[in-house]
Amino acid sequence: MDIKIKDFEGPLDLLLHLVSRYQMDIYDVPITEVIEQYLAYVATLQAMKLEVTGEYMVMASQLMLIKSRKLLPKVADSLETEEDLEQDLLSQIEEYRKFKLLGEKMAEQHEERALYYSKPKIELVYEDATLLHDKTTIDLFLAFSKLMTQKREEFAQNHTTIVKDEYKIEDMMNVIRNRCHLQEKIALQAIFSETKDINEVITLFLATLELVKVQEIQVVQEENFGNIYLMGKRNE
């Protein structure tokens, strides 16, 4: 089973999504937290052997520079440079936000004109294993990025050598189905509580994404940065 996750339109699109979750002015967002989330996202893509384009890696190196300078002792010159780097980054995100809003507005106007001057639009839907780039999927993926970082640290601290099994997505889908059948709502983190290695963690997450795609389970997050829960679709 081949599961792909559609990329953001670029690193600024990813950063804008991360910033927008704070629901505050861009220049008031805790930039260090945003940087850590971005780096975790990219690291997770690499761990899952998904393609990461060069522009994401260039941005990652710039963010790592900002983060490293924030950890250094503060002196007048370095503080000014650090603030310049942060302001430049936030300005880029703000400019991208304005550009994106303008693009969306123009697209809406084009759609409105098409209703009057064009033939009806026909949508072609292809059945494949590509997950839609929507808020639910992206927030689920970001939550998994954080969870996988925690699991890596847990496995490293345990110093346990485990023979790598050949995990199958189909088997993991059944595991999740059974858990959701027994419980009305289960925390995402609980699904991964008994995993033994990173391969199992990744396969279990891919199984979760596939179940979301085929609409066997739904994702619930009641507030930004809140816990994510999985719920099985129950027959009414």
Together in a domain, 18 and 99: yes
4-5/186-187 β-pairing: unpaired
Give the Å distances, CA to CA, from 55 to 12, 14, 96, 101, 177: 10, 12, 15, 22, 38
In a domain, 149, yes or no: no
In a domain, 188, yes or no: yes
Domain range for residue 214? 169-232
In a domain, 148, yes or no: no
- Number of structural domains in the chain: 2
Together in a domain, 99 and 185: no
Each residue's pLDDT tens digit, 121-166: 434 333 333 444 445 667 777 788 888 888 888 877 876 555 556 7
In a domain, 65, yes or no: yes
For residue 184, the domain's CATH number is 1.10.10.580
- Report pLDDT for 136: 60
Give the Å distances, CA to CA, from 112 to 58, 100, 118, 120: 38, 18, 10, 12
Q: Compute the distance between CA of residue 232 and CA of residue 137 in angstroms, rounded to an integer.
A: 16
Together in a domain, 27 and 101: yes
* Closest to 177 in 3D by CA, of 164, 165, 189, 191: 191
- Report pLDDT for 77: 55
Q: Compute the distance between CA of residue 174 and CA of residue 188 in angstroms, rounded to an integer.
A: 16
- Report pLDDT for 235: 54
In a domain, 210, yes or no: yes
In a domain, 142, yes or no: no
Mean pLDDT, range 189-200, rounded to an integer? 85
Lowest pLDDT segment from 32-36, 53-57, 105-109, 218-222: 105-109
Q: Compute the distance between CA of residue 172 and CA of residue 193 in angstroms, rounded to an integer.
A: 14
Q: Compute the distance between CA of residue 129 and CA of residue 89 in angstroms, rounded to an integer.
A: 34
Q: Compute the distance between CA of residue 209 and CA of residue 201 in angstroms, rounded to an integer.
A: 13
Together in a domain, 87 and 175: no
Mean pLDDT (the chain, rounded):
76
Q: Is 87 helix (H, G, I), strand (E, B) or coil?
A: helix
Together in a domain, 25 and 109: yes
58 pLDDT more than 60: yes
- Report pLDDT for 78: 54
- Report pLDDT for 234: 63
